[in-house]
Amino acid sequence: MLAAQRRDTILDRLRTEGRVIARDLAEELGTSEDTVRRDLRDLAAAGLCQRVYGGALPASPAVADYRARQSVGTASKQVVAAAAAALVRPGATLLLDGGTTALAVAHALPPDLRATVVTHSPTVAAALVEHPTVEVFVIGGRLFKHSAVTSGAAAVEALAGVQADLFLLGVTGVHPVAGLTTGDADEAAMKRALARRAADTYVLASAEKIGAASPFTVLPFTEVAGVVTDVPADDPTLVELAAAGVRLLGPGREG
């Protein structure tokens, strides 16, 4: 089998099964495990898969820069945002992550909602400037331009006095094996710091993030209250997550 054919097979297997195991694929294709691993390295270098121990997982398209992500899965993000906004009760303090889905949540908050939003995203804060009854606190720090959020020691220190009811967490990958992931180590650490300041954390998981993985783990599923998604319940990734006890929320689900 030619290299291009092997790589097409790998990508097809990632789409249909959500993972590949190098040893099993080598046996199936009648080639060496080293050859399959070389293919995986090349695909990972092209951004087409996320290598993990023993094989690979689908790469998340949500690791693109902020501007590019604004055009990815917009309808899905709006559905997820509406479901997540419904979790915010009157009088609550909400920690709202950065990213395009979180921005959609800011726009989806009811105009008569009285609540407090704490965010490290200047774009989310700006979206709430004209909301008549939401008070906004902005966490300062070094601006991570890729995702348009602040991070670093100053941002973590500013969080020390925050006690929130819930945190709406943005990630780039939601996968049963890799867990909740994102593309930058410092951003992952900032997300963990935010989660520690909230009573409950819910994951914003639009369709392009389900079944995908990125290099850096944010949190295990055991540390979140639920995953908000619009992906149908019979999706293989969601079936596996539900079987593992992960609470799934969104349209058509009772949670």
Does one domain contain both 53 and 158? no
Higher pLDDT, 51 or 221: 221
Does one domain contain both 108 and 14? no
CATH number assigned to the domain comprising residue 27: 1.10.10.10
> Which residues does residue 179 pair with via DSSP β-bridges, in sequence order?
175
- Asked if residue 158 belongs to a domain, the reply is yes
Does one domain contain both 205 and 176? yes
Question: pLDDT band for position 7 (50/70/90)?
Answer: confident
Mean pLDDT of the chain: 90
> Of 29, 44, 59, which marks where a domain is finished?
59
Q: What is the largest CA-CA distance in the chain?
A: 65
Does one domain contain both 52 and 90? no
Q: Which of 57-61, 131-135, 161-165 bottoms out in mean pLDDT, i.e. has the lowest?
A: 57-61
Does one domain contain both 82 and 125? yes
- Helices and strands: H and E segment counts in the chain: 10, 15
Q: Residues, the chain, total? A: 255
Mean pLDDT of the region 119-137: 96
Does one domain contain both 117 and 152? yes
List, for residues 175-205, the tens digit of each pLDDT value: 998 999 999 999 999 999 999 999 999 999 9
CATH number assigned to the domain comprising residue 111: 3.40.50.1360
Three-class DSSP labels, 221-243? HHHCCEEEECCCCCCHHHHHHHH
Tokens of 94: 């909400």
Integer Cα distance of 116 and 20 in angstroms:
44
> Of 59, 79, 98, which marks where a domain is finished?
59
Domain count, the chain: 2
H/E segment holding residue 21: strand 20-21
Integer Cα distance of 255 and 246 in angstroms:
10
Does one domain contain both 113 and 234? yes
List, for residues 44-97, the tens digit of each pLDDT value: 888 888 888 888 888 877 665 555 555 555 888 999 999 999 999 999 999 999
- Asked if residue 255 belongs to a domain, the reply is no
- Asked if residue 254 belongs to a domain, the reply is no
Phi, psi (rounded to 5 degrees) for 35: -65, -45
Which pLDDT score, from 0 to 100, does residue 73 have? 57
Tokens of 47: 């951004």
Domain range for 13? 3-59
Does one domain contain both 45 and 144? no
pTM (whole model) above 0.85: no
Tokens of 147: 């995702």
